[in-house]
Amino acid sequence: MFTMSSDDFTVHTRECDAVGSGMPISSLPDEVESMDDLDCDCWDVFDSFDEIE
Ligand SMILES: [Zn+2]
């Protein structure tokens, strides 16, 4: 579900173009507590974490 970019280690959806050859992870990092912590536009399609999980 989540993928970490190999360039800057930000977290994206698996479909995001910014990820490149990033590695899949099973859950969001602990430091991500709100949608505001996710900068990339790929998260704009989600209204809340409830939709992601
Ligand atoms: Zn993204």
The pLDDT tens digits for 1-53 are 899 999 899 999 999 999 989 999 999 999 999 999 999 999 999 998 888 87
Find the 44 Cα to ligand 1 centroid distance in Å.
Answer: 9
Parse the chain into domains and list their residue ranges.
2-52
Full-model pTM: 0.83
Confidence (pLDDT) at 23 = 94
Query: What secondary structure letter does DSSP report for 22?
Result: P
Confidence (pLDDT) at 52 = 82
Find the 1 Cα to ligand 1 centroid distance in Å.
Answer: 12
- Look at strands 23-25 and 2-4 and give their pairing: antiparallel
Find the 22 Cα to ligand 1 centroid distance in Å.
Answer: 11
d(CA 53, CA 42): 15
Residue 50 tokens, joined = 């409830």
Find the 12 Cα to ligand 1 centroid distance in Å.
Answer: 4
Find the 3 Cα to ligand 1 centroid distance in Å.
Answer: 9
Confidence (pLDDT) at 27 = 92
d(CA 17, CA 34): 22
